[in-house]
Every structure is written in C-alpha cells, then in structure tokens.
Structure 1
Amino acid sequence: MSGGRPRHIGGAERRGRLALRHRLAGTERAGSPEEVAASLVALHGTDPATVYLAVGARLAEAAKTVPETERALYEDRTLVRMHGMRHTVFVFPTELAAVVHASTGLDVAARTRATLLKDMAKGGGPDAAWLAEVEAATLAALAGRGQATAAELARDEPRLREQFVYGAGKSYEAVQTVSGRLLRLLGVEGKVVRGRPLGSWTSSQFRWAVAPEHPELDPAEARVDLLRRWLAACGPATEADLKWWTGWRVTDVRAALRAIGAEEVSLDEGPGYVVPGDAGPVAGPDAPWAALLPGLDPTAMGWQQRDWYLAPGLRPPLFDGSGNVGPTVWWDGRVVGGWAQRPSGEIVWRILDPAVPREAEAAVAEQAERLVGWLGDARVTPRFRTPLERELSG
C-alpha cells in the first residue's frame, strides 16, 4: 500500500463514482446484462426478480431487460446463478465462477458438508459413503437430463427421497429430505448451479444444472482477483466494508489488499482503500439522476457503512428485521425514499427526505414510468418485505 498522506475522498465524490461505475446516471447505462454484471461484479440472486430489476434499472434499452437477461442466463450462459459470498446466491459473469468458488466457496463448502453429515448422523440418516454414492448418481442423472428439478432427479435416483430428523428433541425439530440438503451442498461446492425457473422470471422455483467447467484456482490468488474487481467497481471502501461484502476473515482481506498494492485514502468513516491509480479526483455525472432500485440491489447492499448514501433515519422503513434492504428511490447518489408495485401494476413511491428538491419528483416519476413500461403484466413482490413497501403496495 502506498505511503504518504492519504488523499481524502468525501461523500460527494463517492456518490459521483457510484453513479458512473454502477451505471446509474442516464448517460452511463449499459448495452447488455453482461455489462451490468461486470460493472457490479455480482448481482444479488436470492430474490429472482432482483436480478432483472437491477439489470433493467441500468440498461439503455429497458424493454430488452427480460429477453436479454434470460438469454445471458439460460442460452449463452454468459451469466451464472450460484452460491457466493456470505453463503448467498448471486449472479456472476460466468468467467468469475472459478474465482468465486476458490476465493469464497471452498471454506463454506467444507463447513456445509460437515454440517450435513453431522445432521444426518444425529437424525438416524445414512453415512458419508452412502452420501457419496448418491451424490455421484445425482450428478450423472443431472448431466443426462441437462436441467432438472429435485423431484425429477429423485425419479432417477430414488435415494434422494431418503429422510432424516433434523434437530431431534429441539423446538425446531423437523423431517428433512436428502435431496434438498444435497443439492444445496452441491451448489455451494460449485458442482451445480441454478437453471431455468419453473415459471416466469419472477419465480423462485428453479431447475438445477451441472456447473460450467472451470479450473481449480489457488484460493489466495482468487481472493486477490475478486477483491481487485470489487474495489475497482465499489472503491473506495473501508476494511469493514470489504470484510462484510466478501465474508472473509480479516486476515484474508488484509493479505489481498497488500497483494494488489491497494492505495490507502481517507474517508469520513476512517481509512479506506482503492485499486492502484484510483486515488485521484473523479468527476461525477454532469446532471442529477434518479433511479428506482429493487430490494437487495447490489448498490444499496454494497457497503456495510452506508451513511454517505443512506441517512440512518431512513433505515427503519426501508429495511426488514434481518438487514435486507427493500425497493429504494435514489436521487443524485442518495437513497431518499422507497417504492412498490400494486396488484394493478401501478408503481407507487414516496420520498422520505424533505431536503430533496422539487425537480426530483419529476425525475422519479419518469423512472417509475420507465419501469412500468418494461414490466408489462409482471407483478413483483420482494421476497424480503419492508415496512414502507408493505404500506405502499397495499
């Protein structure tokens, strides 16, 4: 990391960087879902609709959001939905599958497999050798089918229907089926990925597919690669931001920062870091901008320390009890309110920040109209609902 007195980067400049690098200013919108994903590194995929809404907010031609995103995910396979940081499902550029798996997935996968074997043993289920046989047969069946649901795979490998008691004697005791736990494990291990949904693009019921082949990378080198990409998209960021986003140990974060030669800068929150050569001034967009971003959008969820774009007083109506952000209204780099879709299809929104100028109202209304234009007959309810979204949608 560079020596000397670090340059201070204030909130205004950080918001300008965000507008440009996250393709939110109108002049910076992308030409394809692949460009959006590359600019953000990862799109939250826990809620299937988030992927499309996040892409649509950043595409130059919003009308192409659904067909182009489906093409990238299911035809060209240039984007892949898989487990990533913090044991969460994301959509990544396919070229990053090996990087994410090595940098993040290996440790999580080892813990997940050990936990499954422990739970099966406690619940009177089969042993590790049996699980290995079923795993091999399941992967072979999936390769033969191309894509399949758990139920379809269980017809090929009936042992997937085997059950065991989870949490015996506890208040949360339940009977679990091997298929659900094993397929999640294979996802974390990078052996399978989510395929086409059973329903529309808003459906949360997915088929499974064999993961694209990728090389086995050195974990430390993969962490360097992933951190460099993320800092280029989201820097500057604090060490706390980096640890939170990656889910890594702080020692791994610090080692990766040293390896890329990250430059230290000064932030309102304290020391921060950028990729080499990125500490100089960055001019923001020429004009203020508005955006309607979905729940769990990667920009809204990109940093642990968010005061520079989200006033603490706005958090209670915009987040659920577990820290998941709902649909947000943005004005010139700040979260200023929230939005929702009603059963009629109408997009309704509310600005919560009284300091927002009157011109913002017209700009937000324009973005709402743009969203309605490409949603068509689709109806979107966030998987993690927040107080304001519930109120507006009702």
Structure 2
Amino acid sequence: MSSTGTEHYSRIMLTLMKGGTKLTRRLVEKRVKDLSKNGGEDTIDEFLLKNKSLILEQKLGKNKQDVIFPQSGQTNLDYWDLCMFCSILEETCDLTHITKMYIKKLLKIRNKLCHLNDPTLETRKFDEYTEHMKCCFEHCLKEINDDKFTEEMNALVQSLATGPLSIDDTLKAVHKLYHLEWTYREELEKIGNGQDSTNGKIDTLIEEVGRLNSRLSSDASAGIPGIGIVIEVEKCSAEMKKEILDILEKNFNEAIEQKVPSLEEDLPNGALHTIRETVIQVFREFLIMGRHVTSVKQKCLLLTIKCTSVKSFLEMIRDYRTGDLSKQLSGIETAIKNLPGCGNVQLTNLIFKDEFMELMANLGISIFVLPYTSPRNITVFILLILC
C-alpha cells in the first residue's frame, strides 16, 4: 500500500464490506427462522412479504426495493448490501436494544468511511474502528450461535487484518462502498416516519430565522456554508448520461470561471449553444436570488451553492421543498432534450438530509456570532436545529 493511512482505510473498509455484510446476512437468516410461528420455518420471501408495508415505509429507494421485492417474487440475498441487511434487522427482526445498537454502529462506521475526503485513516481512528467492529461482530456472533460460522468469520477478519491486501478486492470494495453511499443516502424530503414533525420544525425554523434576520444590522453578514444540490440524469443510456453530465459540468464550470466559450457547434440545431445559454441564464438568475454556484462535480452532477444571506439560503430550501427549485432548473432539461436521442431525458434535483443537518448546525454557529442579535432568538434557533 502507498501509506499506513491508506492501508488502515483499506483494511477497515474490506472488513466492513466483506465481513459485515456476511455477518448481517446470517443474522437476518437466523432471526427469520427464530420468528417463524407454529414450529414452521418461513422462507426469506415469506418473511419479507409479511413485513412489506413496514419495509416500504423505510423509503430505501426504488433500486433497493426492487432487489428486496423483485418481479420474480424471489429475492436473491447475494445482491443485497450491508445497508439493506441492517435496515431489515432494525425494522423487522425484533432485535434487543443492545443488538440494534451494534447494528447501528456498523452503519455509522460505514457512513464515516463514505464521508472521508481522502481514503486514509490515522492510527487512532483505525484502532477505534477496529475495536468497535470487534465488539459488534462478537455480539452478533453470540446471537447467531453457530460455532462453525464463528470460526469462518474469525478467520476472515484475521486475514483482512493481517494478510496481504488484494488490489482487485480493494478496488471492488471501494466501488461498492461508493455505490452504497450514493444510492442509500436520504433525501431531505424522505426522512421516514417523522416527516410531518420534521417539516413542522423546518417551517418554524424558517419563520424564526426570518424574524431574526430582520433584526440584524444592515452591515451584518454570516458565512453561509455551501450546500450540495444533486442533479440526476434519468431515462437515458449510461453512455448518453455520461455525455450529458460532461456537457453540464463543462458549462457550469465556464459560468463559474466567467469564460466566454466559442460558438462552434458539434451537434445540429444549435443544441450545445442552447444548453450553454440556458446554464448561463440559470447561473445568473441564481445570483440575483443570492445563490452563488461555487463548484460542480460529476457525482451525477453535484452543484455546490453558497447563498449570500440566511434569507436567501432559507428561500432556496423552501423552493426545494415546494418544487420551485425544479422549475428554476427546468430550462436545462428542456435544452438537453434538443440533443439527438435525448427527447425523454429527465432531470431531478436532490438535497441530502445529512448534509442539510450538518449545514444547519454550522449555520447556527455563524448566526450566533453575529452582532446585534437577540440572545433569546438565538437560543430558540439553536434548539430548533438540535431537536
């Protein structure tokens, strides 16, 4: 490996993806058997069907739902990932509080790996994750209570901890982890059973900050962190999706850098020109609304938008929730449809819950240091964020 930090990351990741997935799968199989009634033994599909409404309430996403409930009627656990096994365990398998805690710990480690900027772990974090995973594995193995399986798991974990690392296995695990991270993240609008309560808190927060914002001095400003807006390209081939993302990335970057590209056209009917002009128009309209697109990356298409004030940020969140943000970006979709073979292409925009909540916490800190702000209002604002 290129460094100790990279090796630490690879060993933890492989242990989680290979060992953790195998472990949670066996625990699901064990709990399905234990929960079968009248001395019988439900199949996995029978168990899933009995709990279908509860599982669908978790809003795992259409791709994962199709894996759990395929049209054939028979799921294949070989296609399941760690998150799917953990979700089924938490919601339908009647686990003890302690067992649920360990399952959540595995997901928490997985989420932390997903959000690292670099694939490296310092020794302190490596030791911490190793110890946490050891406790999780040991507890789940006791629940499974299968000596042969315990031996297999211990051998696998030991080989991943001390044995040579395969580049092929590591790359596959990296790809799978990235895929999990992207497809399983929760959208701001899809945050489970507490949706109505959460929406109410966000509405109250918007109103409170609006009142707070009106009391700030005219020269007061806050450092509003940037938030990621994901634009997904749907209903086209993978090749066409990549081509569209390349075009959008190029045009947004040119708008950010204020470049004036040439008018050369590679496609008929001025399609590229129309897309470019539409992107520039969206970029400028966002600026008028106090939204500055600061960067663009091809994770689907990830726009980082930094608002110039608390008010403009909250208005953007409100626009997202009401669907107005989709309307503001609809011109880009219309322009893309001019490309050959793109008549059915659709664009959807997403804000993910984790990033939103982290930004709100940072936003609370930014506002807290502003001058001429009522302490009572700040207290209410912070409490709303933390509730």
Question: Do these two structures clear the TM 0.5 threshold for a shared fold by scoring above it?
Answer: no
Greater helix proportion: 2
TM bucket (normalised to shorter chain) is: under 0.3
Instruction: State the TM-score, normalizing by the size of structure 1.
Output: 0.21
